[in-house]
Amino acid sequence: MQTAINLHNISVQYRAPEERIGTFKEYAIRLLQKKIKHKTFLALNDISLEIKEGDTFGILGRNGAGKSTLLKVISRVLAPTKGRVQIRGRVSPLLELGAGFHPELTGRENIFLNGALLGHSYHEIEARLESIIKFSEIEGFIEAPIRTYSTGMVARLGFAVATAWKPEILILDEVLSVGDEAFQQKCQIKLDELRSGNVTTILVSHNVNTMQALCTRAIWLDHGEVRASGDAARVIQIYKEQNL
Amino acid sequence: MSKNTDLFEYDNAKRIHPALEELRGIIQYKDLVFQLIRRDIISRYKRSALGVAWTMLQPLGMMIILSIVFSNLFHAVRGYPVYILSGLLAWTFFSQTTTAAVIQIVWGATLFHRIYLPRTSFPVSAIGTGLVNLILGLIPLFFILLATGVPITWNILFLPVGILLLTAFALGIALILSTAAVYFPDVAEMYQVVLLGWMYLTPIIYPEDILPEPLRFWLTSFNPMYYLIKIFHAVIYSGELPSLRILLVGSFVSFATLAVGWLFFSKKADEFTYYI
């Protein structure tokens, strides 16, 4: 089994928000007064982990534990302050459904725009166009500008574009709830289909039960540090003992 | 497990120089640049009755107003409308694209937090949109040339060189500005003031020979836009080739600005998600 994700001693250091200098004027004044102090905050502290190809890997932790930051490092959105990142395979985006859509463009035009944002070529998008439209169930409105869509329609279209290509590494952040119950079921089937084969899945959730059902290995993050890692059942056990 | 040779691999210990990485990225994401340009053009005109015609009508309207206001003042300038319009097209391209790049990078920031994109996609597409507008703007210019009787010479074929240099310079400035805007959001506001002053200090609506001597030397020699607009004036308005000096200085300034901008932007691009 090959390694899909390998993180060595990853640290991410943010500058504390209250110390951020917003304007150039403020910066110039502070520079003259020599008052620039950097308060920092470690979002991730020396994290090392290895995820094997085809594994379903869970990330447990409370809000602010560093889960999102870790996902950002894995999806190459955030360059860590320290440490080495090795990724094998395409990572599915952390796209909030519909981010990047333009209200004035039609559904069809937005599919091309969104597909291109996800890194797909014009021809790749054209090849999937029909199935995306069909999945999102907005055939009748595909030539109308997106600003006329309901929230549910936008979310459905966003989901359809984001899941049209099968990634090698799939990130599932929280529970996806799109549209009505029937559509949610359709989403679940689609996600199961994406997870099938040799796809590596990273699951982030507060829900210990979902995680127990799906994950083989897991990590528990707390204040940017690893509290436990390894076999999912064992990590969940430790997490439960300490938290519940 | 069979070895999949074209599997995407990433290792932050083996990254190439950021400037090259961005260049490679933008070539890979060329369809995104195309889609962003398309989005900008479609969304700008979708709700207007005249649509893309506004791209042509805007500089034309400006030219008509300026001609009426200033033609008595500069009546010695033959074919004044052509003089204004040729310079104005170049200036509008520069001010619009650089401003748009700053806005786009702030808009793009929400995406930078979610997906990997070559960060240069936004400044590059802003320039692309401007190029489409500039080329459309040349159509009414052609009619004004005919209407005013300003002769069109073969030297107009040299115009693409002028456009190329202007594009390089605008992209360089756009990259520097949008990087600065990530760290200091009020750069966008400050830049608008700078643009206004810069425009009046560049001979666009007035001929350069009305400037008194010491001032003329300073305003022309150290103003990159002077050289670039001079090329537009030469090939469109005067029907001549630009002088070698103008061309050499213009090329040097444009490509140097582009190189500095590209290096600066790509070097800082990894930090963007920490700031916005």
Q: What is the mean pLDDT of residues A24-51?
A: 78
- pLDDT band for position A38 (50/70/90)? low
Using the CB atoms, write b or e for A147-182: b if 16+ within 10 Å. eebeeebbbbbbbbbbbbbebbbbbbbeebebbeee
- pLDDT band for position B2 (50/70/90)? very low
With respect to residue B11, please indicate whether it lies within any of the assigned structural domains.
Answer: no
Architecture of domain A3-31+41-92+202-243: 3-Layer(aba) Sandwich (3.40)
Phi, psi of B214, deg, nearest 5:
-60, -35
Residue A112 structure tokens: 């091309």
- pLDDT band for position B155 (50/70/90)? very high
**Mean pLDDT for chain A?**
87
Q: Is B7 on the interface with A (CB under 8 A)?
A: yes
Q: What is the mean pLDDT of residues A131-157?
A: 92
Domain extent for B57: 18-275
In 3D space, the residue among B6, B29, B10, B181 whose CA is nearest the CA of residue B117 turns out to be B29
Query: Percentage of chain A with pLDDT > 70?
Result: 89
- pLDDT band for position B37 (50/70/90)? very high
* Contact call for residues B122 and B97 (beta carbons, < 8 A): no
- pLDDT band for position A235 (50/70/90)? very high
Best mutation target, A3, A36, A105, to test chain B (most B CBs within 10 A): A105
Q: Do A198 and B1 touch (CB under 8 A)?
A: yes
Interhelix angle B159-183/B224-232, rounded to 10 degrees, is: 150
H or E stretch covering A150: none
For residue A43, give the amino acid letter. Answer: A
Q: Do A90 and B8 touch (CB under 8 A)?
A: yes
- Judged against a pLDDT cut of 70, whether residue B254 lies above it is answered with yes
Instruction: Give B18's contacts in chain A (Cβ within 8 Å).
Output: none
User: Residue ranges per domain, chain A?
Assistant: 3-31+41-92+202-243, 93-149
Q: What is the DSSP code (8-state) at residue A85?
A: E
Residue B160 Cα distances to B90, B98, B150, B228, angstroms: 12, 20, 20, 12
Instruction: Convert the pLDDT of each residue in A81-120 to its tens digit.
Output: 999 999 999 888 766 667 789 999 999 999 999 999 999 9
Residue A25 Cα distances to B186, B190, B272, angstroms: 9, 11, 20
Q: Is B193 on the interface with A (CB under 8 A)?
A: no
Instruction: Give B267's contacts in chain A (Cβ within 8 Å).
Output: none
Residues, chain A: 244
Alpha-carbon distance of B160 to B154, in angstroms, equals 13
Residue A87 β-bridge partners = A5, B10
Question: Could you say which of B43, B112, B115 has the minimum Cβ distance to residue A105?
Answer: B43
Q: Is B6 on the interface with A (CB under 8 A)?
A: no
Which of residues 102 through 131 in chain B touch A, CB cutoff 8 A?
110-117
Residue A226 Cα distances to A11, A45, A61, A66, A169, angstroms: 12, 8, 10, 10, 22
* Contact call for residues B200 and B79 (beta carbons, < 8 A): no
CA distance, residue B54 to nearest chain A CA (Å): 18
The pLDDT of residue B3: 45
* Number of domains into which chain B is organized: 1
Best mutation target, A117, A126, A148, A198, to test chain B (most B CBs within 10 A): A117
Q: What is the largest distance, in Å, between two alpha-carbon atoms of chain A?
A: 62
Q: Do A27 and B9 touch (CB under 8 A)?
A: no
The pLDDT of residue A22: 66
Q: What is the mean pLDDT of residues B147-165?
A: 93
Query: Percentage of chain A with pLDDT > 90?
Result: 51
Q: What is the mean pLDDT of residues B196-213?
A: 90
CA distance, residue B12 to nearest chain A CA (Å): 6
Q: Do A116 and B28 touch (CB under 8 A)?
A: no
The pLDDT of residue A35: 61
- Judged against a pLDDT cut of 50, whether residue A52 lies above it is answered with yes
Q: Do B111 and A100 touch (CB under 8 A)?
A: yes
Q: What is the mean pLDDT of residues B195-219?
A: 90
In 3D space, the residue among A10, A93, A85 whose CA is nearest the CA of residue B110 turns out to be A93
